[in-house]
């Protein structure tokens, strides 16, 4: 488990054994390690920019961001190359699932404004592990959407730096970035690495 320093209640799973959103034993193991309940608010993630306010645990619907002011309610997104992001405010918490489509569509500003709509001010954001610029090969149609964040893979083709693009959209907040690449880190699951089953969960809650 990765616990970003300086954050109240944000965590990124490593060594995922399944998809803890759906596997009760995996969920209990994560909950026990974090000292939180095992009833979580989560999403059917669709690579968009829709944000849902959670007032109770369970599957909230088709979306890629969750916000809440409910204390002790874990908000969860699951990823295996896309970026998991936890945003802490004074009196609210938000999580996001962001791949290139979500970033291009504005999932990050959507979560920030949903927190503002709850009357809160976002303070800091933790960007968890995702596929790094070392491995995230993209075509020109994707690269052209991220001017300033185009990079090169370790094998010399065009890639983008998703985490840097996300950090740019979080300008003004205290931003922590994991920097670990899901494609090459043996503790992390990668869809592009051929793992179509395991997902690591990112959890944020308001203590
Ligand atoms: Zn990599």
pLDDT in tens, 120-141: 999 999 999 999 999 999 999 9
Separation of CA 137 and ligand 1 centre (Å): 10
Give yes or no for residue 196 having a pLDDT over 90: no
Q: What is the average per-residue pLDDT within 42-54?
A: 98
Range of the structural domain that residue 172 is part of = 10-204
Residue at 162 is within a domain? yes
Residue at 96 is within a domain? yes
Portion of the chain with pLDDT greater than 90, in percent = 96
Q: What is the average per-residue pLDDT within 89-111?
A: 97
Residue at 178 is within a domain? yes
Predicted confidence band of residue 184 (pLDDT cuts 50, 70, 90): very high
Give yes or no for residue 67 having a pLDDT over 90: yes
Residue at 5 is within a domain? no
Separation of CA 90 and ligand 1 centre (Å): 34
* Edge-first strand listing for the sheet containing 174-177: 51-53, 65-68, 93-98, 83-89, 122-127, 174-177
Give yes or no for residue 197 having a pLDDT over 90: no
Q: What is the average per-residue pLDDT within 148-153?
A: 98
- The C-alpha torsion from 176 through 180 and 182 to 187, rounded to 10°, is -110
Residue at 3 is within a domain? no
Q: At 160, which CATH number?
A: 3.60.140.10
Enter the pTM of the model.
0.97
Separation of CA 114 and ligand 1 centre (Å): 32
- In angstroms, how far is the first alpha carbon of the chain from the final one? 18
> What gap in Å lies between CA 200 and CA 207, rounded to an integer?
22
Q: What is the average per-residue pLDDT within 20-33?
A: 94
Counted domains in the chain: 1
Q: What is the average per-residue pLDDT within 96-119?
A: 98
Residue at 32 is within a domain? yes
Residue 163, classed as helix, strand or coil, is: helix
Residue at 89 is within a domain? yes
Residue at 130 is within a domain? yes
Separation of CA 63 and ligand 1 centre (Å): 27
Portion of the chain with pLDDT greater than 70, in percent = 100
Q: Considering only CA atoms, which of 101, 46, 99, 54 is closest in space to residue 203?
A: 54
Average pLDDT over the chain reads 97
């Amino acid at each position: 488990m990765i616990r970003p320093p300086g954050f109240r209640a944000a965590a990124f799973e490593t060594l995922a054994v399944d998809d803890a959103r759906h596997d009760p034993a995996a969920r209990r193991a994560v909950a026990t390690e974090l000292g939180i309940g095992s009833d979580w608010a989560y999403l059917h993630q669709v690579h968009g920019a829709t944000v849902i306010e959670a007032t109770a645990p369970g599957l909230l619907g088709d979306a890629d961001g969750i916000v809440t002011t409910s204390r002790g309610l874990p908000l969860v997104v699951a990823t295996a190359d896309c970026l998991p992001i936890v945003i802490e405010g004074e009196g609210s918490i938000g999580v996001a699932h962001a791949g290139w489509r979500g970033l291009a569509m504005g999932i990050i500003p959507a979560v920030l404004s949903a927190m503002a709509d709850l009357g809160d001010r976002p303070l800091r954001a933790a960007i968890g592990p995702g596929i790094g610029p070392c491995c995230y090969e993209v075509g020109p149609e994707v690269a052209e959407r991220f001017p300033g964040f185009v990079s090169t893979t370790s094998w010399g083709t065009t890639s983008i730096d998703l985490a840097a693009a996300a950090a740019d959209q979080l300008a003004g907040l205290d931003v922590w970035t994991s920097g670990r690449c899901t494609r090459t880190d043996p503790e992390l699951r990668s869809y592009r690495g051929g793992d179509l089953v395991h997902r690591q969960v990112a959890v944020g809650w308001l203590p």
